[in-house]
């Protein structure tokens, strides 16, 4: 990401990459115990700004039980050699507490979301001079109804 002007294009490209992953989209869209067995989502871009957000989304306790994914860039700083910008891409998967357990799969929805994000993003190129690298994961408590995980990937680009 050589220039900040590219942030819009880059976040849109990441959203499109994620929307191409049917398992990820099903995990977000279908609140069922086995979203993998649900029908394919024909227009996954319909999840933009309803399930997939290019900014931090905090669901209200009054919202219908659901799952949400926020994507944003953060922590930019000048690189050690002053010729690069270093920062991160943050993915926050927030799931209603009643939807964590997917009984018919033996999986927990937030971990399945993280897996699909990692399969799509980790070691990808195109956002800088190096491949996107996994950095960290942390639990996120939102409110009494929602919680999830945040995963962070490092990126580096020409200054």
What does the pLDDT look like over 49-103, one tens digit per residue? 999 999 998 877 777 899 999 999 887 766 666 666 778 889 999 999 999 999 9
CATH fold of 4-158, please? STM4215-like (3.30.2000)
Q: How far is CA 25 from CA 1, 19, 105, 150, in A?
A: 26, 6, 16, 17
- Residue 48 forms beta bridges with which residues? 52
- Domain ranges across the chain: 4-158
What does the pLDDT look like over 92-131, one tens digit per residue? 999 999 999 999 899 999 999 999 999 988 766 555 546 7
The residue written with tokens 């067995």 in the block is 37
Given a cut of 80, whether residue 156 has pLDDT beyond it is no
pTM of the entire predicted model: 0.88
């Amino acid at each position: 990401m050589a220039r900040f002007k590219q942030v819009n294009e880059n976040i849109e490209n990441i959203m499109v990459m994620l929307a191409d992953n049917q398992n990820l989209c099903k995990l977000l869209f279908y609140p069922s115990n086995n979203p993998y067995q649900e029908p394919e989502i024909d227009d996954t871009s319909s999840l933009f700004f309803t399930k997939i957000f290019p900014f931090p989304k905090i669901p209200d306790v009054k919202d219908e039980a659901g799952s949400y994914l926020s994507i944003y860039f953060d922590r930019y700083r000048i690189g050690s050699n002053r010729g690069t910008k270093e920062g991160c891409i943050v993915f926050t998967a927030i799931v209603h507490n009643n939807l964590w357990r997917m009984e018919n799969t033996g999986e927990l929805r937030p971990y399945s979301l993280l897996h699909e994000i990692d399969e799509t993003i980790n070691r990808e190129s195109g956002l800088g001079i190096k491949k996107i690298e996994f950095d960290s994961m942390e639990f996120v408590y939102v409110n009494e109804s929602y919680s999830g995980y945040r995963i962070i990937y490092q990126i580096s680009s020409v200054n």
